[in-house]
Structure 1
Amino acid sequence: MAKALTEVVKEDKKTTELLIKNGLVFTEEGFREVTIKIIDEEIVSLVESEAGPLIETAENIIDASGCLVVPGFIDAHVHFNDPGRTDWEGIETGSRAAAMGGTTTIFDMPLNCSPSTISLQNLTDKREYLTSLSHIDYALWGGMTGTNLNNRQELAQMSEGVIAWKSFMSESGIDDFQYLSPTELKQAMLAAKDHGKVLALHAEWEKDIARLIAFNKQHPWLNERSAYLASRPISAEEKAVSYALELAAKYGTALHFVHISSPKVVRLIEKAKKSGVNVTVETCPHYLIFDEEDFLREGALLKCAPPLRPRQEVEGLWECLADGMIDTIGSDHSPCLFSMKATDSIWDAWGGIQGVQFTWLAMVDEALKRGVPLKQIFPLGTSNVADRFGIEERKGRISPGLDADLVFFCLDETTVAEKESFGFRNAFSPYEGRVFSTKVKKTMLRGKVIYDDQKGVTNEKMGVCLN
């Protein structure tokens, strides 16, 4: 029989023990009817229902009846714009929205904050600034750009404090975050390998995009929204990915492609993966839900890069996902002021989608509609992310020894994405008005409930930096 669940004193430190009971728990072996035992911040055991009763008190129990209990989600792709552009978002509101959607860890991208995280000083300042501001745990990306690539010593120092490196193969839209030329990308590949870090790429071929943007602006044979779609074709994505894969194969770099929008490109990456290239691929919920017709109708609200694709591309991505070719899902939460969307020209509008709060509501809802097993969906935001970025000893699974980061999903309740319920700073999103066939009931970070669907997000900001 398990020992009594009480608060005990060990070496003058109070230890709190907690049980999560009656839920259907997602584990490495699949969904199981087990009780999760937590001591302080850590999962210590999973007890089978038939193992016998546990001695318990009401204060030590969370009843998860009717819920799936899954690992807290890890979103490796957010732009929370902190410091420097907190009127766009900020980690306080961004992490609040993430917690409401079941995300317990985020990796903050090195651009859209100001200044960009492309120097050791900027990284140090950002880390210090973010202390005690986040509701959830976080890690920081470092930026490898055309301006800092030759600062080899500084990049090596930065690598000790970043989760991974991020680079662009096309214009980023941020003045102090320059894209890498094809020659510079070779240097970046070697540097990332030397640092033992993953290099993530925004992969669109700049020369092709620049030419097509200029052409479509000067020859408005299409309306502006159609012209924008035409300016960033799948071929530009395919060309950039092909070139990067060749370099990764040559240099042995660990490569990660972000926000891939086409099944053709996913299959190209899968072929390279099978040939031995150390590569993974992320896509985003908006490429799995919305299509170019939605963009043509809604405009800047759904502007992103790469842009939304035709419906057959969306369906093809789902086929790739079902076949196990997609490794991770990231929200690519890229917020801004509403005035930056409400521009006269689509070319001038900010490109980015606010969605961190709805990533997993949308993914679960869509998977249920399509009959895709949830056991295939959940690893894309949990264990796969943790494994790829080296935090698997703390995050990503419900397993003894790991942080007690948990999400309680109820499949018998719905969630309506109403403006009044948005957790991020600026209350607009393409998800507004959607009804999801599931609800996040609770989110737990390291053994504490940080979000409850009745009480909201707690005031306590207990998020810590992981790197």
Structure 2
Amino acid sequence: MPTELWIKNGLVFTDAGFQEISIKIKDERIDTLVKDKAEPLKETNKNVIDASGCLVVPGFIDAHVHFNDPGRTDWEGIETGSRAAAMGGTTTIFDMPLNCSPSITNLHYLLEKKNYLTSLSHVDYALWGGLTGTNLESRAELAQMSDGIIGWKAFMSESGITDFSLVSPEGLKQAMQVAKEHNKILALHAEWEEEIVRLTTCYKQRPSVNERKAFSLSRPISAEEKAVNYALELAAKYGTAIHFVHISSAKVVAQIDLAKKSGVNVTLETCPHYLIFDEDDFLQQGAILKCAPPLRVREEVEGLWECLSKGMIDTIGSDHSPCLYTMKTTDTIWNSWGGIQGVQFTWLAMLDEALKRKIKLTHILPLGTSRVADRFGIANRKGRIRPGLDADLVLIRLDETTFADKKSFGFRNKFSPYENKEFLVKIKKTILRGKVIYDDQTGITKEKIGLCL
């Protein structure tokens, strides 16, 4: 039977900005947008969600998570990772091809993972495929994989995962050709390996330098700049669509923006941790804030916000990269896992910071909704509140707060640099294809309805 649901009395974020309208949902999709004052509703309360006092925004799309499933579910798993995502208003995630075991570098592993994940996720999802130093020659198999992935991911520096090797400068040329040939975006972790190896060797031999500071110095902005510049040159040459992940510096954003204006098909993501935390936080707190590229000085954080305000940043992704707590409490920072658990708090943190900085929410919301959908080719289903699209919606209040303590964490391992932070916003409900999957009073639903895109 057809199912209908109305969402009334909210302030709805549409293509025209925030509007006082009602949303009619039918068979998992947005059917109609009705101006409340112009056409009063006559629906029964049974089929109505009262969004009074709430902003109603599109479900967020996180194009960068590591849920480690299958193979490393003690680190996370899609059940707990998607639970945390839903609790933070995210209704679609793109799962990276590494940190699961085995990494998704061939067709067999891709199909195996797709089959395994069926009925395990609270949110909709797509999968990245991996291009590495060992599979670039398998062109026929890569062609078969391309139909089942959202895009390709490659590392220009060591990934830290043994079965996901970096692509060399020469190999990157092949990766560009593979992505172009099958009309897929190539996402790049862009740090110049040669520089990192040289500096790491140097600073490991200098015990007089604080080791946390030494780690930061071993992965300087110049390593990002060099890798990004090289990749931009190749993208221009081959006509490849590329997407730089977790860019940490305003200098690099400006570099990419210049290439974009020259006609290179390029976009960039930054992460909330580069916009919230800085190098001093890392020096004080240590491994819980270790990531690569590392957190930068406060001047760079402010520079990223300036870039964001100018429209130079395309998307926000959590780069949720979980691990066991013991992998953070190692005897030296060099051996600790580099990754931050943040999928649940990405948009709580971003909206909180935007409010504090008096940045219009109409400016920041597209970075996790329409811009992601447009870039990755899913705008026919996701990213906007518009008739015909999936009814993925988030109800948010700006007059309630959220306190991040361990008992509120939805992800598996209960630690995060966001612990004990209070955000000036609250997620009231998360709706996936017309069904409430999270409610702040009743919690997450038991039924897992997430589908592979």
| TM-score interval, smaller chain | over 0.9
Give 1:73 deviation, angstroms.
0.3
1:31 maps to which of 18, 27, 40: 18
2:64 maps to which of 77, 97, 106: 77
2:372 maps to which of 374, 382, 385: 385
Structure 2 counterpart SS, 1:69: strand
Q: How many Å separate the matches in 2 of 1:53 and 1:174?
A: 57
2:115 maps to which of 122, 128, 142: 128
- Is 2:281 aligned against 1:301? no
Deviations 1:169-221 (A, max 9, x none): 00000000000100000010011000100000000000000010011101223
Does the 8 Å contact 1:258/1:283 carry over to 2?
yes
Which has the higher mean CA deviation after the structures are superposed, 215-224 or 63-72?
215-224
1:189-208 alignment to 2 at 5 Å? Answer: 189-208=176-195
Q: How many Å separate the matches in 2 of 1:206 and 1:220?
A: 23
- Is 2:49 aligned against 1:88? no
1:147-162 alignment to 2 at 5 Å? Answer: 147-162=134-149
**AA at the equivalent of 1:20:** I
- Is 2:155 aligned against 1:168? yes
**AA at the equivalent of 2:398:** L
Give 1:411 deviation, angstroms.
0.2
Q: How many Å separate the matches in 1 of 2:104 and 2:359?
A: 38
Structure 1 counterpart SS, 2:348: helix
Deviations 1:275-334 (A, max 9, x none): 000000000000000000000000000000000000000000000000000000000000
Identity score, percent: 75
Give 1:55 deviation, angstroms.
1.6
- Is 2:46 aligned against 1:59? yes
Uncovered stretches (5+) of structure 1, i.e. residues with no partner: 1-13
Q: How many Å separate the matches in 1 of 2:254 and 2:57?
A: 29
Residue matched to 1:375: 362
Give 1:223 deviation, angstroms.
1.0
Stretches (4+) displaced over 2 A: none
Residue matched to 2:30: 43
Q: How many Å separate the matches in 2 of 1:53 and 1:164?
A: 44
Q: TM-score, normalised by structure 1?
A: 0.97
Which has the higher mean CA deviation after the structures are superposed, 108-117 or 211-220?
211-220
- Is 2:254 aligned against 1:267? yes
Does the 8 Å contact 1:410/1:439 carry over to 2?
yes
- Is 2:112 aligned against 1:116? no
Deviations 1:67-94 (A, max 9, x none): 0000000000000000000000000000
Q: How many Å separate the matches in 2 of 1:390 and 1:255?
A: 14
1:363 maps to which of 322, 331, 350: 350
Q: How many Å separate the matches in 2 of 1:48 and 1:59?
A: 21
Q: CA RMSD in A?
A: 0.5
Q: How many Å separate the matches in 2 of 1:17 and 1:123?
A: 36
Q: TM-score, normalised by structure 2?
A: 1.00
- Is 2:330 aligned against 1:346? no
Does the 8 Å contact 1:220/1:227 carry over to 2?
no
Structure 1 counterpart SS, 2:32: strand
Q: How many Å separate the matches in 2 of 1:78 and 1:68?
A: 26
Q: How many Å separate the matches in 2 of 1:341 and 1:42?
A: 42
Q: How many Å separate the matches in 2 of 1:269 and 1:126?
A: 33
Uncovered stretches (5+) of structure 2, i.e. residues with no partner: none
1:224 maps to which of 202, 211, 217: 211
Residue matched to 2:164: 177
